[in-house]
Structure 1
């Protein structure tokens, strides 16, 4: 057997194994194009979600808690923002089992750093208080 015979395509009897398809040409540009479109779409979706949920313009921070009783909790918090627009922050209190026992939207005036004190009314004693989100008013 020669090297030519080993690399040659086998010859099948006509009609025995069905119709043979012609070998298709590879299209690497199509794979690259589809990959680029997927990347552009992913970047667009990521940007849209970041603008909708990841607003860094209003960042809240709880400074202290006081007067934690069975029906209210008083918190002091700051909001850092661009300074041009007022904000609205969602203040939330949770019980030890994780249920929300009090929630409120607190208006915050415009300013680069605004410190607020707010008394949140609760249905039962709050275990933890957090500020999940602040947004432009």
Structure 2
């Protein structure tokens, strides 16, 4: 018996175009994955710089003196010793619509790292909730 082996077909030179090898198929997906990874790193760095500064952490204590025109918001801010912070305050109604907003700057006295503050936010309607949107370094 004669033994025959299957071999790759042999094409005449110059016909049917150039043969592709397997390495080229991976180039585009690998390149796209690297570009997406780089973009994700830059996005994380930017968002951390904008929202993630732990030195200026604010906590709402409460709100009082609610009328149709204003609300007093009480809050605490952690800052570096002797530093100051700019905080955005917001008042919202029962439907969660924003009815007032104010930006305030608070400064630590001496070497304190926590600032207790109370600020009045003017509103366009009766507010139900007062909140601190965010605090950042004053500057």
Fold conserved between structures, TM > 0.5: yes
Q: CA deviation at 1:86?
A: 0.8
Counterpart CA distance in 2 for 1:3 and 1:59 is: 78
Counterpart CA distance in 2 for 1:29 and 1:10 is: 24
> Which of 99, 102, 118 does residue 100 from structure 2 map onto?
102
Instruction: Report the TM-score, using the length of structure 1 for normalisation.
Output: 0.76
Q: How does 1:49-88 map to 2 (within 5 A)?
A: 49-88=47-86
RMSD: 3.1
Q: Give the number of aligned pairs.
A: 132
Is 1:92 the equivalent of 2:90?
yes
1:136 alignment partner in structure 2: 137
Give the direction of change, closer, same or farther, for the CA distance of 1:65–1:25 in structure 2 (3 Å limit): closer
Instruction: Report the TM-score, using the length of structure 2 for normalisation.
Output: 0.75
2:18 alignment partner in structure 1: 21
- SS of 1:64's equivalent in the other structure is strand
1:9 alignment partner in structure 2: 8
Question: Structure 2: which 5+ residue stretches go unaligned?
Answer: none
Q: CA deviation at 1:132?
A: 0.9
- SS of 2:54's equivalent in the other structure is coil
Superposed CA offset, 1:92-130 (max 9, x none): 101122322111111110341000111222121101111
